Amino acid sequence: MRLLKKLIIIGLVVGTMMGIVACSSEGASNNTKENTTLNISAAASLQEAMVELEEKFKEIEPNVKLQVNLGSSGALQQQIEEGAPCDVFISAGEKQMNALEEKGLLLEGTNKTLLTNELVLVESEGTEIKDLDKLTTYDINKIAIGEPESVPAGKYAKEVLDNTNLYDKVKDKLVLAKDVKEVLAWVQQGNADVGFVYLSDAFAAKGIKVALTTDEDIHSAINYPIAVLKESKNQNKAKAFEDFLLSDDGQAILENYGFKKAN
């Protein structure tokens, strides 16, 4: 009888220990899921939209955290080439994405067009621009654009000035910014009379107004490509984020910030 009681007690102890181990393993598994982080390198013009996109994606993937790195597309491209951690890249220009594609850094089949945008000329308070020719007058002293070599918005702006034969007339007035958000800030602060930014940047910006929208036939198409990096350690989650941005929900949020659906 005593032997039977001992065996029962031993059985209960073993069962309890196994339960504790199982719970510990489950907890460890859950903690691992919660610690999944996606590094997102995105064009600076997506700054406001990314806040809401992250909140919505959290509803779909509650165990995934987004670490968003914003900057000019050229600077982000260079960081990725130099080995900076990145799971998903969203560029404001195709040039930067194509460069990474050519170097074999993108996961096959994930390079897609996410959205489009428009290039507008914004003016500071007290400035009145009716057409681009006004840029050549004495009323305009400083014209802000992104650095054309690294900032897609700057590249498009230079194309506009080149194709309207205005570049040589206004080049001494140009002030070059590190990204499109800096262009906007300079105009808002009155440090530049006008600046070329995306419509999405001017969408809800204070202290400026849109003077005019540039014609699409005087600059390259403004497409924002997205892709998953081949070196991503979380490719499935990265692809899930890309799919979300391309979904109706993701596109609706982007449209709310002045972006347009890709054709």
| Structure confidence by residue, pLDDT tens digits, 154-201 | 999 999 999 999 999 999 999 999 999 999 999 999 999 999 999 999
Over its C-alpha atoms, the chain yields an Rg (Å, rounded) of: 25
- Three-class DSSP category at 204: coil
| Stretch 114-140: mean pLDDT | 93
> What gap in Å lies between CA 111 and CA 98, rounded to an integer?
9
Query: For residue 100, what pLDDT band results from cuts at 50, 70 and 90?
Result: very high
Which is more confident, 263 or 138? 138
Angle at the Cα of 98 from the Cα atoms of 226 and 118, rounded to 5 degrees: 60
- Statement: residue 30 has pLDDT above 90: no
Q: What is the pLDDT of residue 3?
A: 44
Question: Average per-residue pLDDT in the chain?
Answer: 89
| Stretch 190-214: mean pLDDT | 93
Query: For residue 251, what pLDDT band results from cuts at 50, 70 and 90?
Result: very high
In the numeric block, the tokens 């840029």 are attached to: 135
Tokens of 150: 């690294």
Residues with Cβ within 8 Å of 177's Cβ and at least 6 positions away in sequence, in order, are 144, 145, 146, 147, 151, 154, 183, 186, 195
| Stretch 70-75: mean pLDDT | 94
| Stretch 135-158: mean pLDDT | 96
Query: For residue 204, what pLDDT band results from cuts at 50, 70 and 90?
Result: confident
Q: What is the pLDDT of residue 142?
A: 97
Q: What is the pLDDT of residue 17?
A: 46
Q: State the number of CA atoms in the 13 A half-sphere of 150 facing the CB.
A: 14
Q: What is the pLDDT of residue 16?
A: 44
Q: What is the pLDDT of residue 126?
A: 82
Q: What is the pLDDT of residue 34?
A: 55
State the Cα torsion 112-116-119-122 to the nearest 10°: -120
Q: What is the pLDDT of residue 15?
A: 47
Single pTM value for the model = 0.80
Element (H, E) at 113: strand 112-116
- Statement: residue 6 has pLDDT above 90: no
Residues with Cβ within 8 Å of 43's Cβ and at least 6 positions away in sequence, in order, are 70, 71, 72, 73, 76, 90, 91, 92, 152, 180, 224
- Statement: residue 75 has pLDDT above 80: yes
- Statement: residue 121 has pLDDT above 90: yes
Q: What is the pLDDT of residue 125?
A: 82
| Stretch 124-147: mean pLDDT | 93
Q: What is the pLDDT of residue 244?
A: 98
Q: What is the pLDDT of residue 43?
A: 95
Question: 119 exposed, middle or buried (CB, 10 Å; 0-12, 13-18, 19+)?
Answer: buried
Q: What is the pLDDT of residue 203?
A: 85
Which is more confident, 118 or 13? 118
